[in-house]
Structure 1
Amino acid sequence: MKIPLSQPDITEAEIEAVTAVLRTSRLSLGPKLEEFEHAMASYVGMPHAVAVNSGTSGLHLCVRALGIGDEDEVIVPSFTFIAAANAIRYERARPVFVDIEPHTLNLDPEKIEAAITPRTRAIMAVHSFGVPLPIDAILAIAKRHDLFVIEDACEAVGAEYKGCQAGSFGHAAVFAFYPNKQVTTGEGGMIVTGDVALACRMRALRNQGRYDSDDWFQHQEIGYNYRISEINCALGIEQLKRISEILSRREEVAKAYHRELEDIRELILPPIHVAGSRISWFVYVVRLAGNFTAHHRDKLMSYLQSEGIGCARYFAPIHLQPSYAEWRETHLPVTESESARTLALPFFNRLSQAQISEVGKALRSGLRMLD
């Protein structure tokens, strides 16, 4: 691709930090792990952080550590990455899919209470595309029904709602650091929580069920190898030092896209501002307007790819995936309508104005083919 869909932003400082770890005798469960956890907890404003090898692992540990299990129900959007629902199913619980609202494409709080049953144990509140949910409305619902709130902030590091960081509201929250994220560790994730007992249990679960007080081969419960290496943590520490610069740069790229594309009537652009919130720009997703369908979106996507421009559909609804055939009859009209017309454009820190203009030019040419 001439212009890739995403691209990590790695500096010499990060390369040197990783190299320094390789010159030590500690490649796992060492000082960089603790430093990364403390840095992330401080940034989010939560007392405890637990680093793991992926955001998916983090979501799974939240479900497991909160005691959610057989036939329990967890409310979650279908318009999100499949890991959110998979983490629920790993514990034999059932995801209950709720529709989104069309402006931000986030979970619609007004649809949640109708989905609550006596089996409901939690709400998985996903900050989709780095746009914060109206989390106070969700917390109020959770309090009325005595539910846990797990914040899936995997796409939202640095996002803010009413002056507070995404990830600082629920019983636990998870961030992810895959290479397309705002901050990357290569592979990795981070759980934050205000509950010391929950944090302690999740640290044990990530390391085969072994608590800090246990001998090396003593395991109090069934756990997992969800450890993250010192190498990943060293990279994350250096990335987090640049978080303000990274978020500002990504906001500049989003605004440049908005200026480039705002005159194209066939497109619905993502909101640049959401009242009371700061968006942490993860991706830049446009939607085809009017009567365009998934067929038109896919045709446009193929054209852009043929021109060397990376793009993808974000997201395919989970309840329509082959691995979720049991949920296929779930009716989510907004999710199904909006997801059929979404298209993620190239988006990363170092995307230039010239590249944005090239994407805009190709979009205009591709859209003319759809008329």
Structure 2
Amino acid sequence: MKHLITVNSGSSANLVAFSALTSHRLGDRAIKPGDEVIGVAAGFPTTVNPILQFGAVPVFVDVDTATHNIDASLIEAAISPKTKAIMLAHSLGNPFNLDAVTALCKKYNLWLVEDCCDALGATYNGQMVGTFGDIATLSFYPAHHITMGEGGAVFTNNAELKKIAESFRDWGRDCYCPPGKDNTCNKRFSWKLGDLPEGYDHKYTYSHLGYNLKITDMQAACGLAQLDRLPEFIAARKHNYAFLKARLKSCEEFLILPEATPNSDPSWFGFLISIRESADVNRVDLINYLDQNKIGTRLLFAGNLTRQPYMLGRNFRVSGELARTDEVMNNAFWIGVYPGLTEEMLEFVVSKIEAYFGVGF
């Protein structure tokens, strides 16, 4: 990628990336209040929140059972004359169907925002995720592939979007001088913008309703130090995923195991498990049992975002039904593939799950 800016979290990265698409500098393609943005409800709220915060309308499409990403076959039916963008995360490091999504974006002239916060290093058809869309995001939260404690990034090949994103990150200022530099444009005191007097200092001219979302030097140093180990971390996550996938096949009578998206090489963030309806097992009972055995679990974030308390009365649209999203909400959970997990630890996890279902006894 040609351009990358750092921010203080993955959620801030999503906010900045989406904000960039609302800029007046984009003319008719700018997202405006009332415009629609397609996404999923089975995911993390801050992939969707910026849409609502800017007065646009999220349009929710159901996910598929195997990958827990958007069901690409349902997207076109969700597109309306108001649709301006598609904003999706690669669920737990598993890429969504980028062939289908990019084709629709091209056909309907839609922006594509790739939330890669869980997917650093994943590829689709041999190409890194985040390089297919117009703008993409990363998170460096402690649980992610590399960490700065907190941190994130926005990246793009579009120089104009980079400049706009940087403006939103840096208080909304119009000046694009890098830190420690002045007068990059060679007309610092020659601009005439807004209703300001001619020659007003460009460093103190603001073209967007911006934020202050920069990282510290210490965070940047932590991130740079981990980059050299990123291939090692990704390989360990893939190994741990493969171990769990192979060993938990013994429980497939009761559990639906995750599947990689066709033509992809995921960079796994977690191992997602769904309890089969036929298993007649209560998820709360299972995850409480795992917790009692010191095995941490997580739900797939918001489950069905439309059912979260803060969404009551919000302006959104559902295309079709969200039946499989509800299945995620009711039956799915995930366990970690953190690089520090040993095969002995993973074998312990498998043995406890097998014991719960009476497998091998």
TM superposition shift of 1:89? 1.1
Indicate the residue corresponding to 1:128 in structure 2.
91
The aligned counterpart of 2:46 is 83
1:367 to 353, 357, 360: 357
* Superposition CA RMSD, Å: 1.9
Letter aligned with residue 306 of structure 2: H
1:313 has 2:329 as partner: no
Matched residue count: 322
Q: State the 1:164 CA deviation.
A: 0.6
Structure 2 residue corresponding to 1:301, chosen from 287, 305, 319 = 287
Rounded to whole Å, the distance in 1 between the matches of 2:58 and 2:236 is 36
Pairwise CA distance, 1:340: 1.7
SS at match of 2:138: strand
Q: Residue in 1 aligned with 2:14?
A: 59
SS of match in other structure, 1:192: strand
Among 183, 192, 209, the alignment partner of 1:222 is 209
Query: 1:194 and 2:157 equivalent?
Result: yes
Does the alignment pair 1:140 with 2:103?
yes
1:46-67 Cα deviation digits (max 9, x unpaired): 1111111111111111221112
1:19-58 alignment runs, 5 A limit? 46-58=1-13
Structure-1 residue corresponding to 2:143? 180
Bigger CA drift: 339-348 or 243-252?
339-348
Q: Provide, for residues 265-318 of structure 1, a one-character-per-residue CA deviation record: whole Å limited to 9, x for no partner.
A: 2122112x543211101011111124347x711110111112221112113111
Equivalent residue for 2:336?
A: 346
2:350, 2:208 → 1: CA distance? 54
**Match of 2:325?**
335
1:335-365 CA-partner distances (Å, limit 9, x unpaired): 1123321121133111011111211122123
CA positional deviation for 1:155: 0.8
**Would the aligned equivalents of 1:56 and 1:87 in 2 still touch at CA under 8 Å?**
no
> In the aligned structure 2, how far is the partner of 1:353 from the partner of 1:199?
43
Distance of 1:326 and 1:111 partners within structure 2: 25
- 1:21 is aligned to none
Q: How does 1:161-310 map to 2 (within 5 A)?
A: 161-210=124-173, 211-213=175-177, 217-264=204-251, 265-271=253-259, 273-292=260-279, 296-310=282-296
Mark the CA change 1:183 to 1:159 in structure 2 (over 3 Å): closer, same or farther.
same
Q: Distance in 2 between matches of 1:320 and 1:139?
A: 29
Q: Distance in 2 between matches of 1:302 and 1:224?
A: 41
What letter corresponds to residue 160 of structure 1 in structure 2? T
Give the TM-score normalised by the residue count of structure 1.
Answer: 0.82
Q: Secondary structure at the match of 1:340?
A: helix
TM, length-normalised to structure 2: 0.84
Distance 1:85 1:133 in 2: 16
Distance, in Å, in 2 between the alignment partners of 1:319 and 1:367 is: 32
Task: After superposition, give the CA deviation of every residue in 1:122-176 in whole Å (9 maximum; x if it has no partner).
Answer: 0013211111112121111112211111111111110000111000011101111
Deviation at residue 220 of structure 1 after TM alignment: 3.2
Q: Give the corresponding residue for 1:358.
A: 348
Deviations 1:226-264, CA, capped at 9 Å, x for gaps: 111111111111212111111111111111112321111
Q: Which residue of 2 aligns with 1:24?
A: none
One-letter amino acid of the counterpart of residue 282, structure 1: F
In 2, are the aligned partners of 1:99 and 1:111 still within 8 Å (CA)? yes
Kindly, what percent of the aligned residue pairs are identical? 32
Determine helix, strand or coil for the equivalent of 1:263: helix
SS at match of 1:173: strand
Cα distance in 2 for residues equivalent to 1:286 and 1:129: 12
Once the 2 structures are TM-superposed, how far is the Cα of residue 215 of structure 1 from its aligned partner?
Answer: 5.4
What's the CA shift for 1:368? 4.6
CA contact (8 A) 2:169 2:213 kept: yes
Q: Which runs of 5+ in 1 are unaligned?
A: 1-45
- SS in structure 2 of the partner of residue 262 of structure 1: helix
For residue 88 of structure 2, give the secondary structure of its aligned residue in structure 1: strand
Tell whether the 8 Å contact from 1:156 to 1:282 is kept in structure 2 after alignment.
Answer: yes
Q: Secondary structure at 1:224's aligned position in 2?
A: coil
* SS state at 2:235 partner: helix
Matched residue SS, 2:167: helix
Cα distance, 1:367 vs. partner? Answer: 3.2
- Secondary structure of the corresponding residue to residue 169 of structure 1: coil
Q: Distance in 2 between matches of 1:133 and 1:237?
A: 28
Say yes or no: does 1:69 pair with 2:32.
Answer: yes
Cα distance, 1:216 vs structure 2 = 5.1
1:59-95 CA distances to partner (integer Å, 9 max, x unpaired)? Answer: 1112211122311110011111111111211111111
Paired with 1:94 and 1:86, the residues of 2 have a C-alpha distance of: 10
